[in-house]
Amino acid sequence: MTLTRLLTALVIPLALLTAPTFAATAANTETEQAGITLQQLQQTLAAHELVKGDFEQVRNLSMFSQPLSSSGHFVLSRQQGLWWQQTQPFPVSLVLTKNKLSQQFGTEAPQLMNADENPMVFYFSHLFLSLFQGDTQKLQEQFDVALSGDADNWTLALTPRTPPLTQVFTSIVLKGDENLDKLELTELRGDSTRISFTDQSHPSTLTQEEQSVFAL
């Protein structure tokens, strides 16, 4: 799988970076239930400097009769970025910062990339961060948005309305409470990805190992 496809499958990491205050515009199609507004959701997801947890990903591909499953751990830092550690079925480490990306398979040497070398990869990568960070203003630039539920059980449905998203996805659905708990992506060609996040915590600082990982 190419790096672009890997990131698209992940996109795609959680609830963190401080985002600008939401402002509704007439150009966006949105539905807000009385239980929770987009501004409240953004404030909830941006409340923590640091989020750690486990993930389980199930990928359904039209070319395979059985789904592809993977699992591991993640670290999302407002200041540093995302560390995505797949442990099963084989180890893969992916580190995403504002302008750099590192991918490492097992004990192989890391592959480093910057935004100038592959802008499309970083486009999807930063979209992924917007999803995890609950950056509703940025999401509304790319999607029609429909929000339902309440603070304890909300669903945010995104329908792409600009290329290249309209050429890849039919819908992206996020579900959660205090954190983003589920991410579901459906592609035009019929493939789908579902990621579940569990055992999430909000420590105050990164460990020394995590700090060294982000120092690409």
CA distance 84 to 74: 5
Report which of 41, 12, 72 is spatially closest to residue 136, judged by C-alpha positions.
41
Is the overall model pTM greater than 0.85, yes or no?
no
Band of residue 131 on the pLDDT scale cut at 50, 70, 90 = low
pLDDT in tens, 74-116: 999 988 889 999 999 999 999 988 888 898 999 898 888 887 8
- The predicted-structure confidence for 163-180, as pLDDT tens digits, reads as follows 888 998 999 999 999 899
State the burial class of residue 21 (Cβ atoms within 10 Å of its Cβ: 0-12, 13-18, 19+): exposed
Question: Which CATH topology does 3-17+25-197 take?
Answer: outer membrane lipoprotein receptor (LolB), chain A (2.50.20)
Domain residue limits, the chain: 3-17+25-197
Largest CA distance in the chain: 51
Over 56-119, what HEC string results?
A: EEEEECCCCCCCEEEEEEEEEECCCEEEEEEEECCCEEEEECCCEEEEEECCCCCEEEECCCCH
